[in-house]
Structure 1
Amino acid sequence: MAILNDGPNGPLRGKFGSVYAYVLNGQNIVRGRRRPRTSSPSAAELLNRKITKVTNNFLRYLFPIVKYGYKNLLVDHPTKNAANLAQSHVRKECIALDENQEPYVRPELFKPFRGKLFMPENAQMEVVGEVLHITWTPIADHWNDWIKLNVVLVEVETQADVKAAIVPANTGHYQVQSALLAHRNQGVHVYIGFVDNFRDELSDAVYLGKLD
């Protein structure tokens, strides 16, 4: 049974004869009945499945973060959501193959924030005790505190932590305290970026490195 949303001129939803209709990301989709597959998947298809799996495993704990970090891109991609855009970014820009031709994600290429705002420059980090010290070139000529620092810490496929709009960008330094720092011997990746709270704009992320 199909349903006519909003009357006879509205989008069709459900089964209608031999076709199915539904709304996906604001678009009306009509497709035929799926037919069972009889052939074996090709090598390219198997690789694509593996890439999809490692992509989703990598992003598993990052979806709440990219929902914030990719919001500026939604204007130019009205039929997508932040999760779609992050998955596309990882698949196209962050995947590599090991010596056995197995796919994996290169965390140093990943960007938890995307945007057109200028990025932090000359950024560095150092762990002192249980505190992560981050420095960057201050924005000396900026007259207000609207532009602030974002920080993301990621233990791949395990957990992630975000500190959003935590300190004005014109200070040039910040001391991060996070439970993830206790896991740094297992490999924690650190990213930073700027956010303009007045215009609600983000910069692309800058990768600071891996804490071992």
Structure 2
Amino acid sequence: MAILEDGPNGGFRGKVGSVYGYKLNGEWVIRGVRTPSTKPPTAAQLLHREKMKINGEFCQRIKPILTFGYQFEAAKDLRRGAFQLGQKHVINSVIELDAASKPYLNMEKLQVFVGELMPPTGIEVRLENDILKLSWIPNPKYYDSIYKLNLALINPNKHMDFKMGVADAAQGECSIEIPVFKREKFDYHVYIGFWDMYKGTLSNSVYCGII
């Protein structure tokens, strides 16, 4: 079914009979039904499909983190939601090609949180049994208790863990029990970032290495 817009002389959006109507760059366009291409895909098309597959599977796995980490950026973008902005970041900045021209995830470039606050500095991370110990240099600007530290743990092929407000930014250190470390022996990439709980602002995340 099509929807007529701008009166009887306007364009239409949708399907009428065997044609489709839509608006492109401010102009109304009518086209016929697209038929599947019989041409074999090019190397570039195959590579793009592989990148999109990796992007889709990975972003879906860490969707709760991206939805939180990009929520304030999404408030500035009328076209994309938080998850879509996270997907765009991953496809544009995180997926790279190895020496054999195969796409892979460069986890060091992943930004799980984005925002205007200054990110943590001087970070040290270590694991003692199932206790994750974090330390950072307190920022004099963030001594109010509204500023918290967020933590994300990501294994690109298995699991993720996400903890909000694990400590005050002014503390400079914290110890966090991670139950999954008792159950599963996977490597996790660690990311932390500051969060202004009052204004709803984040810092960019900082990559802390693998534990």
Deviation at 1:126, TM superposition (A): 0.7
The aligned amino acid for 1:157 is N
Change beyond 3 A, Cα 1:130–1:199: same
Match status 1:144 vs 2:149: no
TM-score by length of 2: 0.86
The separation in 2 between residues aligned to 1:31 and 1:121, in whole angstroms, is 55
Stretch moving more, 30-39 or 128-137: 30-39
Residue number in structure 1 paired with 2:34: 34
The separation in 2 between residues aligned to 1:2 and 1:127, in whole angstroms, is 59
Contact preservation (8 Å) 2:96, 2:104: yes
Residue number in structure 2 paired with 1:95: 95
Which structure has the bigger radius of gyration?
2
Residue number in structure 2 paired with 1:199: 199
Residue number in structure 2 paired with 1:78: 78
Stretch moving more, 85-94 or 141-150: 141-150
| Structure 2: 5+ residue stretches without partners | none
The separation in 2 between residues aligned to 1:74 and 1:31, in whole angstroms, is 32
Residue number in structure 1 paired with 2:69: 69
Residue number in structure 1 paired with 2:20: 19
Stretch moving more, 164-173 or 181-190: 181-190
SS in 1 for 2:166: coil
Deviation at 1:20, TM superposition (A): 4.7
TM-score by length of 1: 0.85
Residue number in structure 2 paired with 1:25: none
The aligned amino acid for 1:91 is I
- State the superposition RMSD in angstroms: 2.7
Change beyond 3 A, Cα 1:205–1:143: closer
The separation in 2 between residues aligned to 1:120 and 1:37, in whole angstroms, is 50
Residue number in structure 2 paired with 1:26: none
The separation in 2 between residues aligned to 1:143 and 1:151, in whole angstroms, is 19
Deviation at 1:83, TM superposition (A): 2.1
Give deviations 1:130-178, integer Å, cap 9, x for gaps. Answer: 1000000113454521110000011112111111122210011111222
| Structure 1: 5+ residue stretches without partners | 23-28
The aligned amino acid for 2:121 is E
Change beyond 3 A, Cα 1:192–1:85: same
Contact preservation (8 Å) 1:59, 1:157: no
Give deviations 1:169-189, integer Å, cap 9, x for gaps. Answer: 001111122233247742111
Deviation at 1:98, TM superposition (A): 2.4
The separation in 2 between residues aligned to 1:31 and 1:127, in whole angstroms, is 61
Contact preservation (8 Å) 1:97, 1:104: yes
Give deviations 1:32-67, integer Å, cap 9, x for gaps. Answer: 332221211111111000111111222222111111
Count of residue pairs brought into register by the alignment:
206
Deviation at 1:114, TM superposition (A): 0.8
SS in 2 for 1:194: strand
User: Where do 1:179-198 residues align within 5 Å?
Assistant: 179-182=179-182, 185-198=185-198
The separation in 2 between residues aligned to 1:78 and 1:130, in whole angstroms, is 42
The separation in 2 between residues aligned to 1:129 and 1:31, in whole angstroms, is 64
Structure 1 moving runs of 4+ over 3 Å = 11-14, 29-32, 140-143, 182-185
The aligned amino acid for 2:88 is S
Deviation at 1:30, TM superposition (A): 6.6
Contact preservation (8 Å) 1:119, 1:206: yes
